[in-house]
């Protein structure tokens, strides 16, 4: 079977894509490739200078840079309030992994804030502008995640001892549950917008700097995707005609590397009652998401 590559990207002229965390790794490549095929790509980044330097390297310079710190609800609200016009594709790509414990201005553990609360709030606030799809970039490690849904404090990460790797896995499970619940609610409300998940397998980017020493990454590189291949599932989900809730990842055994194919998230990420409980607590904590009611 032919492997899907960036040569198969359709013309995206006239389409607007917003992508978070486009200054490095998978996000940078995704943004560059979508700009190359004609999309107006908005790089939603925490460092505008870094974003401008990246955008200046794109073919045709079809890119705009706007400030957005996805770990900070005030920044997300500013970004959304300044938006006018339609967005065809929102890509929730920005993420961090296994960082030392810290809490955000909103009182959230930083990985949960960046990898889950941020995409949740941003998507909900931009929903009135969205016309086609949301792609959320998850990780296969969501399969090792656990939910913490006792109450709002539990979800925000204030009640348990901190473990960096577990916090990452948990945040990606929440992101995956959010994405599947988003599709349920969009369908129930009659919206044509679709929600997709993409994961890069393992890709050599800056993500694991806190977890894996650089020399180990370099030695094991043959096992991974390079960042260019890591971006393919996101690009596939952002541009192909797929059923809502499609989960796209690499095709090689174990899903660690290769070319895009549709797979399945963990069963825990497909549980509607858990997802509805997560949505309700996240809505309470972020003050967003109440406009899209639960599925009866
Ligand atoms: N690489 C992998 O093997 C792998 C596997 C599974 C999932 N993923 C997911 O893929 C996505 C992209 O990661 P990557 O591998 O490309 O890592 P990366 O090279 O470290 O890129 C992460 C991007 O996120 C941005 N970012 C981090 N915190 C942010 C914040 N608070 N506000 C706005 N932007 C922020 C970073 O911006 P700065 O440049 O300012 O730091 C950077 O542009 C993440 O969601 C990650 O969890 C990656």
Report which protein residue has its CA nearest ligand 1's atom 36: 21
User: How do residues 67-84 score in pLDDT, each as one tens digit?
Assistant: 999 999 999 999 999 999
Is 247 designated active site? no
CA dihedral 164, 265, 179, 117 (to 10 degrees): -10
**Is residue 61 over pLDDT 90?**
no
Ligand 1: which atom is nearest the Cα of residue 141?
6
Find out whether the beta carbon of 136 lies less than 6 Å from any atom of ligand 1. no
Residues 6+ apart with CB under 8 A from 226: 203, 204
Ligand 1: which atom is nearest the Cα of residue 71?
31
Find out whether the beta carbon of 46 lies less than 6 Å from any atom of ligand 1. yes
Q: How many CB atoms lie within 10 A of CB 4?
A: 18
Contact, 166 vs 108, CB < 8 A? no
User: How do residues 221-247 score in pLDDT, each as one tens digit?
Assistant: 777 888 999 999 999 999 999 999 999
Find out whether the beta carbon of 87 lies less than 6 Å from any atom of ligand 1. no
Rounded to the nearest whole angstrom, what is the distance from the C-alpha of residue 95 to the centroid of ligand 1?
4
Report which protein residue has its CA nearest ligand 1's atom 20: 207
Distance, CA of 260 to CA of 251 (rounded, Å): 6
Mean pLDDT for the stretch of residues 22-33: 97
**Annotated catalytic residue: which of 108, 117, 168, 178?**
168
Instruction: Reduce the DSSP state of residue 162 to 3 states and report it.
Output: coil
Report which protein residue has its CA nearest ligand 1's atom 1: 203
Find out whether the beta carbon of 205 lies less than 6 Å from any atom of ligand 1. yes
The reported pLDDT for the residue numbered 207 is 85
Short-list 128, 125, 120, CA closest to 94: 120
Give the pair of three-digit tokens for residue 37.
């095929």
Distance, CA of 187 to CA of 191 (rounded, Å): 6
How far from chain centre, in Å, is Cα 157?
20
If phi over 0 gives left and psi between -120 and 50 gives alpha, with beta otherwise, what is residue 259?
Answer: beta
Domain ranges of the chain: 12-286
Give the pair of three-digit tokens for residue 143.
């399969």
Distance, CA of 282 to CA of 290 (rounded, Å): 10
Distance, CA of 56 to CA of 74 (rounded, Å): 28
- What DSSP letter does each residue of 69-129 carry, written as one string? -TT-HHHHHHHHHT--S-EEEEEE-----SPPP-B-TTS-BHHHIIIIIHHHHHHHHHGGG
Distance, CA of 89 to CA of 14 (rounded, Å): 12
The reported pLDDT for the residue numbered 158 is 81
Residues 6+ apart with CB under 8 A from 265: 138, 142, 143, 176, 180, 197, 247
Ligand 1: which atom is nearest the Cα of residue 94?
24
Mean pLDDT for the stretch of residues 181-189: 97
Average model confidence (pLDDT) across the chain:
94
**Is residue 216 over pLDDT 80?**
no
CATH of 12-286 given 2.40.50.140, 2.160.10.10, 1.10.150.240, 3.40.50.720? 3.40.50.720
Rounded to the nearest whole angstrom, what is the distance from the C-alpha of residue 223 to the centroid of ligand 1?
20
User: How do residues 111-138 score in pLDDT, each as one tens digit?
Assistant: 999 999 999 999 999 999 999 999 999 9
| Residue of 12 and 209 predicted with greater confidence | 12
Distance, CA of 127 to CA of 47 (rounded, Å): 24
Query: Ligand 1, residues 18, 19, 20, 21: which to mutate, most atoms within 8 A of Cβ?
Result: 21
Mean pLDDT for the stretch of residues 29-54: 97
With tokens 């607590």, the residue in question is 281
Contact, 62 vs 38, CB < 8 A? yes
Distance, CA of 224 to CA of 236 (rounded, Å): 19
Distance, CA of 202 to CA of 207 (rounded, Å): 10
**Is residue 37 over pLDDT 90?**
yes
Rounded to the nearest whole angstrom, what is the distance from the C-alpha of residue 93 to the centroid of ligand 1?
6
Which of the four pLDDT bands, split at 50, 70 and 90, describes residue 211? low
| Residue of 215 and 69 predicted with greater confidence | 69
Q: How many CB atoms lie within 10 A of CB 149?
A: 16
Rounded to the nearest whole angstrom, what is the distance from the C-alpha of residue 241 to the centroid of ligand 1?
25
Mean pLDDT for the stretch of residues 1-15: 93
Find out whether the beta carbon of 75 lies less than 6 Å from any atom of ligand 1. no
The reported pLDDT for the residue numbered 253 is 86
Which of the four pLDDT bands, split at 50, 70 and 90, describes residue 147? very high
**Is residue 214 over pLDDT 80?**
no
Rounded to the nearest whole angstrom, what is the distance from the C-alpha of residue 207 to the centroid of ligand 1?
6
Ligand 1: which atom is nearest the Cα of residue 113?
31
User: How do residues 187-209 score in pLDDT, each as one tens digit?
Assistant: 999 999 999 999 999 988 888 76
Contact, 1 vs 25, CB < 8 A? no
The reported pLDDT for the residue numbered 210 is 60
Find out whether the beta carbon of 66 lies less than 6 Å from any atom of ligand 1. no
């Amino acid at each position: 079977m032919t492997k899907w590559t960036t040569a198969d990207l359709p013309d995206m002229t006239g389409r607007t894509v917003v992508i978070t965390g486009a200054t490095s790794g998978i996000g940078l490549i995704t943004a560059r490739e979508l700009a190359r095929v004609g999309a107006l790509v908005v790089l939603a980044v925490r460092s505008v200078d870094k974003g401008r330097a990246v955008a200046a390297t794109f073919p045709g310079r079809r890119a705009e840079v706007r400030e957005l710190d996805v770990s900070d609800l005030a920044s997300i609200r500013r970004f959304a309030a300044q938006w006018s016009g339609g967005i065809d594709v929102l890509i929730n790509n920005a993420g961090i992994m296994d960082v030392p414990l810290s809490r955000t201005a909103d009182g959230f553990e930083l990985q949960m804030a960046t990898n889950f609360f941020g995409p949740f709030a941003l998507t909900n606030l931009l929903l009135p502008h969205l016309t086609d799809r949301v792609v959320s970039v998850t990780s296969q490690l969501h399969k090792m995640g656990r939910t913490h849904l006792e109450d709002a404090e539990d979800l925000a990460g204030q009640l348990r001892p901190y473990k960096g790797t577990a916090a990452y896995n948990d945040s990606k499970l929440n992101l995956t549950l959010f994405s599947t619940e988003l599709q349920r609610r969009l369908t129930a409300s009659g919206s044509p917008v679709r929600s997709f998940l993409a994961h890069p397998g393992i890709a050599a980017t800056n993500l694991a700097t806190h977890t894996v020493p650089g020399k180990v990454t370099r030695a094991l590189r043959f096992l991974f995707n390079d960042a260019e291949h890591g971006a393919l599932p996101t690009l596939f989900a952002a541009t192909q005609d797929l059923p809502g809730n499609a989960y796209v990842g690499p095709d090689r055994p174990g899903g660690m590397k290769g070319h895009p194919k549709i797979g399945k998230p963990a069963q825990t990420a497909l549980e509607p009652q858990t997802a509805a409980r997560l949505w309700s607590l996240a809505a309470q904590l972020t003050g967003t998401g109440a406009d899209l009611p639960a599925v009866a």
